[in-house]
Amino acid sequence: MGEPLVAGEAWRQAQGGDSVMAPKDLVLTLWRGQVETHVKVAGNGPPLVYFHGAEGLKWDGWLSRLAERHTVYAPEHPGTSPGLPNTIEAIDSLWELVLFYDELFEALGLERPAVMGHSFGGMVAAEIAATRPERVGKLVLVSPVGLWREDVPVFNWMISSREQLFQASFHDPRSEKAQRAFAFPTDPGPLQDAIIQQTWSLACTGKFTWPIPDKGLKRRIHRIKAPTLLVWGRSDRVVPVVYAEEFRKHLPQAQVRLFEHSGHLPYIEEEEGVTAAIEEFLR
């Protein structure tokens, strides 16, 4: 790889109070030297690449669980890494983002890893699997965006308030897990930094989704060859559960796991069950 691993983010409390494994931070320079890329890495075992959603990477408890049996690589999308906002300028389109991640796989020496993505990251994972089928061993899509139905539109997170997004994201927004997942710092300085970082992450990922998908995945999805697992929360009001069937129409061999007490973030609300389902699929 040629780049040293340096200390990653500190241990913090996971959902339910368990400790979260601290990943290391791998720094790579890609795209003709224009993009400094940060990849969180933890664990041992077969490689699993995780693409995060629109609001930026959070190393939650489920990733630590998965890292017990896999080497988890979680790249931060261009522009979403703290202190590197301008790297997004080097990537002009969704197509270039897919090619950028093809370079990342090459730099990491990954051959047919399992690939997993949530929400926006699920769309990215699906696009990679459709564009370079030979790159992906298995595919896990957790509440992915990427398809569109006029009668059941995807929630427009780009123009919603934080409270609207919060209410749409959880089966039970009043639960401690939901409250903790959306918590911001209370001190004014860190609070301002967190709001700015989240807003910029939404803008960076929004470059590849605005207006809200369809971005043409339905014309390419037939190229996906990897065994696929679709994970959805029954109460998802961001990407309603009918989209599980829409993806299944295009991927008839895909397995579908629905979680009855989850919304758009089933790995938060039902972490143990979601992790177990993914582990079973990846065996």
Q: Which of 237, 66, 242, 65 is nearest to 147 (CA)?
A: 242
- Whether omega before 211 lies within 30 degrees of 0, making that bond cis, reads yes
CATH of 5-282 among 3.40.640.10, 3.40.50.300, 3.40.50.2000, 3.40.50.1820: 3.40.50.1820
Residue 127 and residue 95: Cα distance in Å, rounded?
9
Q: List alpha helices for the chain, DSSP H.
A: 61-66, 94-108, 120-131, 162-169, 176-181, 188-206, 242-250, 266-269, 271-282
Instruction: Indicate the residue type of 136.
Output: V
Judge residue 96's burial from the number of C-beta atoms within 10 Å of its C-beta, 0-12 exposed, 13-18 middle, 19 or more buried. middle
Question: What's the pLDDT at 213?
Answer: 67
All structural domains of the chain with their residue ranges: 5-282
At a CB cut-off of 8 Å and minimum separation 6, what does 9 contact? Answer: 22, 23, 25, 40, 59
Tokens 């939650």: give the residue: 60
Give the phi and the psi of residue 74 in degrees, each rounded to 5. Answer: -125, 90
Question: What's the pLDDT at 20?
Answer: 67
Question: What's the pLDDT at 193?
Answer: 87
Q: List alpha helices for 207-265, DSSP H.
A: 242-250
Q: Which of 162, 180, 201 is nearest to 82 (CA)?
A: 201
Question: What's the pLDDT at 4?
Answer: 29
Question: What's the pLDDT at 17?
Answer: 38
Give the phi and the psi of residue 188 in degrees, each rounded to 5. Answer: -55, -45
Distance from the Cα of residue 94 to its chain's centroid: 15
pLDDT per residue as tens, the chain (283 positions): 332 222 222 223 333 334 567 899 999 999 999 999 999 999 999 999 999 999 999 999 999 999 999 999 999 999 999 888 889 999 999 999 999 999 999 999 999 999 999 999 999 999 999 999 999 999 999 999 999 999 999 999 888 888 999 999 999 999 999 999 888 888 888 888 888 888 888 888 998 987 776 889 999 999 999 999 999 999 999 999 999 999 999 999 999 999 999 999 999 999 999 999 999 999 9
